[in-house]
């Protein structure tokens, strides 16, 4: 078995004396692991850093084997963010969520393109949080937990939508919420592509997407907890919002 693809390096860990087991997110083969011979050596290890863009060839005797990768570096990202703690926290959050949420070897080419585009924005800290929010919404959509924010689930109106149902993921208006308002999640305008994309608004929105990541997606994955890297990025965003 053999195939060639491009991929974003999600993680790498030592294997044996000089090899590494790496996990990649590729457009055509999804989240895929394999062994890189010499991956911890001086020649390859600088290129096997989180977020790296790689050209890869995977080989194995049988399709269900772990197999091995040969890699060629295309673009490094870790070195660009090492001196920027905000950007580094953002990159770590994206990689950790992908490694956590994606089924193994299941292609998601649209999500791959969105992920690559988001990582290429690293360092543009003023616009990156909004990109991250839009990426989380796309990830929920791609994995079967889409939020429907077009109209009120109760009344059908398209204006005055201020809540999200934690069960259905549908928008709810203030009038439609009634006595149930305190049981609903906030729907800040930024989630519908409206209003000011301030850090405070984005944090509120990420609280809502985080609910669905934790209580819907993670719950389906045998109750696994969301990666700590996501909260670490939110903590940095919160501190930045407090300074604004």
**Interval 201-212 mean pLDDT:** 98
| The pairing of beta strand 30-36 with beta strand 171-173 | unpaired
**Confidence at 40, pLDDT banded by 50, 70, 90:** very high
**Interval 110-129 mean pLDDT:** 97
Distance CA 114, CA 135 (A): 7
Please say if the pLDDT value at position 221 is more than 90. Answer: no
Phi, psi of 194 (to 5 degrees): -125, 165
Please say if the pLDDT value at position 240 is more than 90. Answer: yes
Write down the pLDDT at residue 71: 96
Percent with pLDDT over 90 in the chain = 93
Distance CA 117, CA 164 (A): 28
Please say if the pLDDT value at position 166 is more than 80. Answer: yes
Which one has a higher pLDDT value, 80 or 178?
Answer: 178
Say if CB 81 and CB 94 are below 8 A apart.
no
Q: How far is CA 136 from CA 42, 139, 141, 191, in A?
A: 36, 5, 9, 11
Return mean pLDDT, the chain. Answer: 96
Sign for the CA dihedral angle at 63, 68, 73, 77 comes to positive
Please say if the pLDDT value at position 195 is more than 90. Answer: no
Nearest 5°: CA angle at 192, between 188 and 197? 60
* Per-residue model confidence as pLDDT tens digits over 69-108: 999 999 999 988 999 999 999 999 999 999 999 999 999 9
Sorted by sequence, the CB contacts under 8 Å of residue 232 that are 6+ apart come out as 89, 92, 93
Q: How far is CA 31 from CA 116, 131, 174, 239, in A?
A: 14, 22, 41, 32
Write down the pLDDT at residue 222: 74
Write down the pLDDT at residue 80: 85
Sign for the CA dihedral angle at 82, 85, 91, 96 comes to positive
Q: Report the predicted TM-score, pTM, of the whole model to 2 decimal places.
A: 0.95
- Give the H or E element holding residue 2: strand 2-15
Write down the pLDDT at residue 64: 86
- Per DSSP, 37 falls in state T
Please say if the pLDDT value at position 224 is more than 90. Answer: no
**Confidence at 124, pLDDT banded by 50, 70, 90:** very high
H-only helix segments in 13-84 = 78-81
Distance CA 52, CA 12 (A): 11
Distance CA 38, CA 171 (A): 51
**Confidence at 196, pLDDT banded by 50, 70, 90:** confident
Q: List domains and CATH numbers for the chain.
A: 2-76 (2.40.50.140), 80-149+187-243 (no CATH)
Q: In what order do the strands lie in the sheet with 171-173?
A: 171-173, 161-164, 185-186
**Confidence at 199, pLDDT banded by 50, 70, 90:** very high
Please say if the pLDDT value at position 230 is more than 80. Answer: yes
**Interval 169-193 mean pLDDT:** 96
Please say if the pLDDT value at position 223 is more than 80. Answer: no
């Amino acid at each position: 078995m053999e195939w060639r693809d491009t991929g974003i390096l999600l993680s790498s860990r030592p294997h044996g004396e000089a090899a590494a087991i790496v996990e990649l997110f590729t457009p055509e083969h999804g989240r895929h692991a394999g062994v890189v011979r010499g991956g911890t050596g001086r020649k390859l290890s600088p290129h096997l850093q989180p977020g790296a863009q790689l050209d890869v060839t995977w080989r194995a005797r049988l399709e269900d084997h772990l197999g091995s990768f040969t890699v060629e570096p295309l673009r490094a990202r870790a070195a660009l963010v090492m001196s920027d703690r905000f950007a580094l926290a953002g990159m770590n959050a994206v990689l950790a969520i992908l490694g956590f949420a994606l089924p193994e070897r299941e292609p998601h080419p649209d999500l791959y393109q969105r992920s690559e585009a988001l990582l290429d924005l690293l360092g543009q800290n003023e616009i990156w949080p909004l990109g991250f929010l839009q990426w989380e919404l796309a990830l929920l959509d791609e994995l079967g937990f889409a939020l429907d924010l077009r109209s009120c689930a109760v009344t059908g109106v398209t204006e005055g939508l201020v809540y999200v149902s934690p069960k259905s993921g549908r928008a709810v208006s203030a009038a439609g919420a009634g006595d149930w308002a305190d049981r609903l999640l906030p729907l800040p305008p930024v989630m519908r592509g409206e209003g000011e994309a301030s850090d405070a608004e984005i944090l509120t929105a990420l609280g809502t997407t985080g609910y669905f990541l934790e209580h819907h997606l993670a719950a389906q994955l045998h109750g696994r907890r969301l990666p700590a890297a996501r909260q670490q990025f939110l903590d940095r965003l919160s501190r930045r919002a407090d300074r604004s």
